[in-house]
Amino acid sequence: MKVKQLLHKYHELIVYSIFGGLTTAVNFITYFIFTQIFNVDLVYSNIIAWLVSVFFAFFTNKVYVFKKSDFDLKDTTIEFTKFTSVRAISGAFETGALWWIVHYLHGNELLTKFVLGIIVVVCNYTLSKIYIFVEKEEETHKSRKLKAHVK
């Protein structure tokens, strides 16, 4: 397979990885600021970091990863509700696991947060792809025509 075809085939995953990395950076920086500078408890800091990174991730995922440039109020509200619901579940998992591993297993806080972050990013991508930013019927038809033309 040629490089151009590989990039086209994996474009979405590559872009998601870039913005996932940026979202993780936003999350870590926010978490660090609140725990280290403002001395806020790790659970509250993680919740604040989650909120900031979810807003960042929604708009970057919608526009750059899944190329949904339409901001129809109804569709965007549905996507945002699904997005925040999925992220709330993964955020609760991350926060609970972080608290449990740090307090009961005496795990390294930043290493634990990093590993949990990787797990959360993989789960969030999968759910974004199959549940949140799904293509409408007419978009699927156009996409198939485009893919047939590229091959």
pLDDT tens sequence for the chain (151 residues): 577 777 777 888 899 989 988 998 999 999 999 999 999 999 999 899 989 999 999 999 999 998 888 889 999 999 999 999 999 999 899 999 999 999 999 999 999 989 998 898 889 889 998 999 987 765 555 555 555 555 5
pTM of the model: 0.70
How many CB atoms are closer than 10 A to CB 148?
8
**DSSP assignment letter at 105:** S
Buried-state track 70-104, b at ≥16 Cβ within 10 A, e below 16: eeeeeeeeebbebbbebbeebbeebbebbeebbee
